Structure 1
């Protein structure tokens, strides 16, 4: 699908990301295309991002959070999506609540609902509901709860991050999901997406939190996956 023709239909868009870097990896090209077309874009960061390098002693958890939030804001600036200050839910990385009975879930869902209403969002971008990372799945649940409380919920598009490398058969879409997958061409903004990914220096070798050698860094194989001239999304099948 041509990116320029697709974005003209999306209107005001809010992207919801579990961790800093998911916005660039999963849908950075679409965000750049939206801004190039003059569509409003705002972002929500769900977790504090501190657990990519939990054993760092040089960088305390608050210091790691500060680095990652700064990288997130830099990425949004590169993509042109920094006109509106992002909503930072600041939930614990690796422990984002996933159900209404979990502490913090409904408060976060309500904050998200209010933000979507304030932005008059026509589209919300969210991780694929069974993307194989617990925070990604929890983020999808938070968005679902927020939309359930809206009189006129935005159209939901689901992007892929971890399913490329880690998906089991049961993680993939089924007929019961009632979604269709499609690709959006992002070649015109591919270089901008790569710069946004590179803004997350703490997640790219050699990294920033170098006193935690077992911490997370994006692998060369994963980075190659997100260098393709397209992005993949799932959307509800229109009946």
Structure 2
């Protein structure tokens, strides 16, 4: 449905009508999962990761920022300590999903800077992606309300510009699940939006999400303005399906 501004209503407002796809329809190898922050890969793609690994697809994960702005005023967890904690959580979560430590790369860009600083890492990131040579790249939805997510999308597209690689690009929503932040789709953007059935690995995904104690519990209790994913927000990532968006080519 289109509104008076020429924008399409977000399909996330009624995801139950989206068509289904099975993992075998997308399975290819190697696969690269790109996350703006430590946890986005599990929230947005945890089910896909587990399913792809169950089919013995090679999965690499690239985490762009260090995630240290989640609790900027904590004295118990200053930036270096928080970075180490969040990386450890990521490794624990991904191990549950079937990804080994040596297949996870942390880029450690300053949290909150991706949208303005991504050009500084294009060359090195291009070398990384050339080495991985992914057949599929999962990356954040280009119009995600969070600037770091939009910046990550821009980074990957800047990296791919000029490369001979032409991987399948599958975008995943994160903050569009929040109805107060959710945007609309430009009518000019032709995309296919579908659901991946993750029912067989849902319990694994839930266990992986639980590994992110710094983001979903009061583990860090000395920053009154610290970030914490609400139960309402988390519920969007524990359905027996995940939603993905692909631009029609």
Structure 1 residues 167 and 148 mapped into 2: Cα distance closer, same or farther (>3 Å)? farther
Deviations 1:208-235 (A, max 9, x none): 2211122011101011111111000111
Aligned partner of 1:176 in structure 2 is: 188
**Paired residue secondary structure (2:195):** strand
Q: Contact 1:202/1:209 (CA < 8 Å) preserved in 2?
A: yes
Deviations 1:128-160 (A, max 9, x none): 001100111111110110111311221110001
Deviations 1:58-90 (A, max 9, x none): 211100100001111111111112264322211
Q: Which runs of 5 or more residues in structure 2 are unaligned?
A: 1-19
Deviations 1:171-219 (A, max 9, x none): 333332221111111001001111111111101122x221112201110
Pairing 1:45–2:63 present: yes
Shift of 1:2: 4.0
Aligned partner of 1:209 in structure 2 is: 220
Shift of 1:166: 4.8
Alpha-carbon distance between aligned partners in 1 of 2:181 and 2:225, rounded to the nearest angstrom? 25
Pairing 1:80–2:93 present: no
Shift of 1:121: 0.3
Count of matched residue pairs: 230
Alpha-carbon distance between aligned partners in 2 of 1:108 and 1:72, rounded to the nearest angstrom? 22
Pairing 1:5–2:24 present: yes
Pairing 1:35–2:53 present: yes
Pairing 1:70–2:88 present: yes
Structure 1 residues 183 and 167 mapped into 2: Cα distance closer, same or farther (>3 Å)? farther
Shift of 1:3: 2.7
TM-score, normalising length: structure 1? 0.90
**Paired residue secondary structure (1:59):** coil
Deviations 1:87-119 (A, max 9, x none): 2211111121x2xxx5x4234222222222211
Shift of 1:33: 0.5
Pairing 1:158–2:171 present: yes
Please, what is the CA RMSD of the aligned residues? 1.6
Alpha-carbon distance between aligned partners in 2 of 1:176 and 1:2, rounded to the nearest angstrom? 24
1:199 pairs, out of 199, 203, 211, with 211
Q: Contact 2:202/2:238 (CA < 8 Å) preserved in 1?
A: yes
Alpha-carbon distance between aligned partners in 2 of 1:164 and 1:76, rounded to the nearest angstrom? 22
Shift of 1:168: 5.3
Shift of 1:12: 1.2
**Paired residue secondary structure (2:222):** coil
Aligned partner of 1:235 in structure 2 is: 246
TM-score, normalising length: structure 2? 0.87
Alpha-carbon distance between aligned partners in 1 of 2:203 and 2:231, rounded to the nearest angstrom? 17
Shift of 1:167: 6.1
